[in-house]
Amino acid sequence: MKIRNGRVNHIKNPIGYLMEGTPVFTWVTEEAQGKKQTEARILIAEDPDMEKIICDTGFGNLDSLGSPVQIEKKPRTRYYWTVTVRSDAGEEAVSEVYFFETGKEDEKWKGKWIGCSQETDRHPVFYKSFESSKKAVSARLYICGLGLYHAEINGKKVTEEFLTPYCTDYNQWVEYQTYDVTDLLEEKNRIEVTLGAGWYLGRFGFTSQETESCINPYYGDGRFKLIAEVVLTYEDGTEEIIGTDDSWMVSRCNITFSNIYDGERRDDTLPQASEEKAEILGEGESLPLMARLSIPVLRHEILKPVKLLHTPAGEEVFDLGQNFGGIWRLKIHEPKGTKIHIQVGEVLQNDCFYRDNLRSALAEYWYVSDGEEHVLEPQFTFYGYRYAKVEGVSDLTIDSFEGIAVYSDITPAGQWECGKPKLNRLMENIKWGQKSNFIDVPTDCPQRDERMGWTADTQVFVPTASYLTDSWAFYRKFLKDLELDQCEHEGMIPAVVPAFGVDMCCAVWGDAATFIPWYLYKFHGDVSILERQFDSMKSWVDYIEEFDGQDRLWEKKFFYGDWLALDSPKEGKEQIIGGTEEGYISYVYYMASAEIVAKSAEILGKEDIAEEYREKYQKIREHILNEYFTPSGRCAINTMTGHILALHFNLTANRELTVNKLKELLHDAGEKFKTGFVGTPLLAGALSSMGEDKMAYTVLHNEEYPGWLYEINLGATTIWERWNSMEPDGTVSSTGMNSFNHYAYGTIGQWMWETMAGIAADEEKPGFRHAVLRPVPDYRTGWVKAAYDSAAGRYETSWKVLDSTHVNVKVTVPFNCTATLILPFAADEEVKRELTAGTYEITYTLTKSLCGGFSVDSTINEIMECPEAKEELLKIQPGFAMYPARMFNQTVRENLELFSNGADESVLAPIMEQINKAQFS
């Protein structure tokens, strides 16, 4: 038996993170003989040898998904901990020694906020030399520099982190980081901190503007700022603190411009800059410092160019083969004064470099050479790109350039593979969509002049992200931003977080406040997220209630609706809002948020509040039923999304009727969807909830517009913002709002995990302590193999279609977990099995053929769901696709006269044979 993944507040060995309240300990036990944990014990000590114990929980019923342990925490102190687990087979395992270290907590800063003159464009380098009289046994750097900082001690980077101190609502909180710098110190030391503009000082968001000479950012007063403390601890326990003050000096580096959207400029021909003394800033210029919650943004994959293109326009363009978020390195050696220019783009047009869809973002880099050899690498910006155009470099070779993916340090959690290469590519695209948009903030896109924390995009993607990676700590930081922005707006959640001046709010977007903590609870089973976010969740629902008043204003308020859906009856610009009545969607999400608050209150033991919000939920629900449904359960909103919401949120009294109507709408659209940001994430799941997995598969397998594989066929390497971001002939459809790296439609990933791999969480026993395993076989996919490192341990599932009526399934349930295995289309006695930890293999016979096997008693629907069979059917009766879709629920026999021209049933036999054969060819 082994213990791995020991975490405090879901972070491995955190140093200087914000620790509000009681720290929560989590771990995973594996390789056990036993099936269950019988008891566990956490020890916390002051030393790595675990001798000076300050807390012993004793053996008891500790939960590996989240055990809060109360200790008296001192500031700037490292604590060591282990967990011991015992199993029902008599095993005992002790974890390695983990640690967590507190930041400054409430301690006052000795360092002061310092600044410099703003008269030159050259970015400042603050520095200080110091000697340490004795050898320091430990040294820490506590630091925050704005907009962005890059710190070195004795010429060595203090961290591999990038874009520190990260992106927050700087009026509300500014994160400082803590680094262990013990190994960097010598007798004589020099600390140097270079500052860039970043989110705080550069133009960012919709409200800031920038011209050559003037920065007018949304936050801040346009000044570079730094605060830092180097704390040296000597053998005798004494401390020395070197804090920022007016003894620090300021010189200048060769970077003359930087910001997030536009890139960076560096001129190495500039003369040595004059130096000045740093200035202590006034009280009014200091900022609300808090320990960090951002997890490190790091450099990850190195992408070597697949080609160096010489385009018809005479450009030299590196193709990295993958769209992504990050930076690059370029080797150069050019004569002094040579100007080098790098621009990036996501796609080519007419085989030439293209970047019009980045809107006003310049996304470039300028460099003036000093004649020496250099490897250029941007320091204070990032890009979203696949292609890089380089000008001014002679003799470029394919080895001169490489891309560097940059994103928050999320641990991969899921491996998923299937028998259809295009679906594997789709899963890759979803992963790259996540990586590219997890740069400290969950963004809409990484390339154009936006890159902001749009709350709906974030909300809908959480389940998919939670299968792909352990994203708890990443989202925890976002929820802190959300909660602080909300406080500033009296309960309202801005559509963008951090808000950067966006003051509007609306349904689905704002419901991020309730949905995200709930998803995190469901995926991780750690109740602390509900405790931490409860006030925020409740305030959001209270805000809607107040806004709504007696006149149901919430239903009438403007909102983005089923954003970018294809079913709007309106012309022009308004089309982007989709055809599903916005008031209906608003109210459905209002209801769902009230329900989440009620359920969370119940879990937290706040029974009165739970009751109050259950009542609210009921009332909103009644209103929706009265307004948008007939008494027998027919949904009056005649769109796919209307019906998807009815099924997903359990609104209809007649689910059968509703799913049939949804299928009709899909048939009418040629087995394709027309849904947007609201409907798409829930579409396949809504079908599967009614056993209509085959239809969901059909929609997924569709290779034409609109569809996921349409994008793949056009060479997509990430998920697009619009279903038609690119036209079938490869032209970019529009430039106003058209990103090739928007993860919202990547939410199909959730269904690919839940239904194709068949690994789903169970809300009643969250964190995958219990899972529902329902892998749904599909002959077009052939096989699926998946492994998911859930919060509770590793689940594995795989299935393979042996022939049209036989499937082989393997599943593994981790230690201390249980699962319900459901085998779709299996004979009755085998359909459902309750499993404990272990590995199981079953080959079973299907009651219904996966392909072929159609008879005159098959419904037209069933035949139409198999593309090959459908093609055959349409050959026999070409006009059939035009018939009203409701007829498709009838059998072939019921439509005899259509197929047989008045003859009897026997003429159908060869037709059915033909249809059945088609699928195997």
Q: Could you list the active site residues?
A: 450, 721
Is the Cβ of residue 207 or residue 805 nearer to ligand BGC in the bound state? 207
CB 308 within 8 A of CB 398: yes
The residues pairing with 797 across neighbouring beta strands, listed in sequence order, are 786, 811
- C-alpha span between 891 and 913 (Å, rounded): 16
Residue 272 DSSP label? P
Residue 362 DSSP label? -
Using CA atoms, how far residue 314 sits from 220, 308, 317, 352, 725, in Å, is 43, 12, 10, 9, 26
Residue matched to tokens 């809002």: 577
SS (H, E, C) 150-195: EEEECCEECCCCCCCCCCCCCCCCEEEEEEECHHHCCCEEEEEEEE
- C-alpha span between 275 and 290 (Å, rounded): 31
Is the Cβ of residue 576 or residue 791 nearer to ligand BGC in the bound state? 576
User: Nearest approach, Cβ of 465 to ligand BGC (angstroms)?
Assistant: 15
Q: Which helix (H) or strand (E) holds 330?
A: strand 316-333
CB 345 within 8 A of CB 355: yes
Q: Which has the closest alpha carbon to 241: 109, 122, 55?
A: 109
Is the Cβ of residue 650 or residue 734 nearer to ligand BGC in the bound state? 734
Is the Cβ of residue 267 or residue 450 nearer to ligand BGC in the bound state? 450
Is the Cβ of residue 487 or residue 737 nearer to ligand BGC in the bound state? 737
User: Nearest approach, Cβ of 457 to ligand BGC (angstroms)?
Assistant: 5
Degrees (nearest 5) of the Cα angle 714, 720, 722?
Answer: 105
Is the Cβ of residue 324 or residue 454 nearer to ligand BGC in the bound state? 454
User: Nearest approach, Cβ of 718 to ligand BGC (angstroms)?
Assistant: 14
CB 148 within 8 A of CB 246: no
User: Nearest approach, Cβ of 448 to ligand BGC (angstroms)?
Assistant: 8
User: Nearest approach, Cβ of 559 to ligand BGC (angstroms)?
Assistant: 9
- Give the β-pairing of 759-761 and 770-773: antiparallel
CA dihedral 152, 153, 159, 161 (to 10 degrees): -20
Structure tokens given for 662? 């949804």
CB 879 within 8 A of CB 860: no
Q: Which has the closest alpha carbon to 736: 359, 419, 403?
A: 359
Buried b (16+ CB within 10 A) or exposed e, 284-299: eeebebbbbbbbbbbb
Is the Cβ of residue 472 or residue 560 nearer to ligand BGC in the bound state? 560
User: Nearest approach, Cβ of 322 to ligand BGC (angstroms)?
Assistant: 21
CB 518 within 8 A of CB 526: no
Question: Concatenated DSSP letters for 401-451?
Answer: EEEEEEEE-PEE-EEEEES-HHHHHHHHHHHHHHHHTEESEE-S-SSSS--
Residue type, position 882, single letter: M
Q: Which has the closest alpha carbon to 433: 402, 417, 410?
A: 410
Is the Cβ of residue 220 or residue 679 nearer to ligand BGC in the bound state? 679
Is the Cβ of residue 316 or residue 450 nearer to ligand BGC in the bound state? 450
Residue matched to tokens 């769109």: 639
The residues pairing with 264 across neighbouring beta strands, listed in sequence order, are 258, 365
- C-alpha span between 338 and 641 (Å, rounded): 56
Degrees (nearest 5) of the Cα angle 386, 392, 396?
Answer: 60
Q: Which has the closest alpha carbon to 35: 840, 813, 834?
A: 813
User: Nearest approach, Cβ of 577 to ligand BGC (angstroms)?
Assistant: 9
Q: Give the contacts of 894 (CB within 8 A, at least 6 positions apart).
A: none
User: Nearest approach, Cβ of 456 to ligand BGC (angstroms)?
Assistant: 5
Is the Cβ of residue 200 or residue 559 nearer to ligand BGC in the bound state? 559
Is the Cβ of residue 81 or residue 560 nearer to ligand BGC in the bound state? 560
Q: Give the contacts of 910 (CB within 8 A, at least 6 positions apart).
A: none
Is the Cβ of residue 389 or residue 451 nearer to ligand BGC in the bound state? 451
Is the Cβ of residue 389 or residue 742 nearer to ligand BGC in the bound state? 742
- C-alpha span between 570 and 576 (Å, rounded): 9
CB 401 within 8 A of CB 367: no
User: Nearest approach, Cβ of 828 to ligand BGC (angstroms)?
Assistant: 46
Structure tokens given for 716? 């997509």
Q: Mapping DSSP to helix (H, G, I), strand (E, B) and coil, where does residue 546 land? A: helix
Binding site for ligand BGC (CB under 6 A): 444-445, 450, 454, 456-457, 560, 563, 737, 742
Q: By CB neighbour count within 10 A (0-12 exposed, 13-18 middle, 19+ buried), where does 415 fall?
A: middle
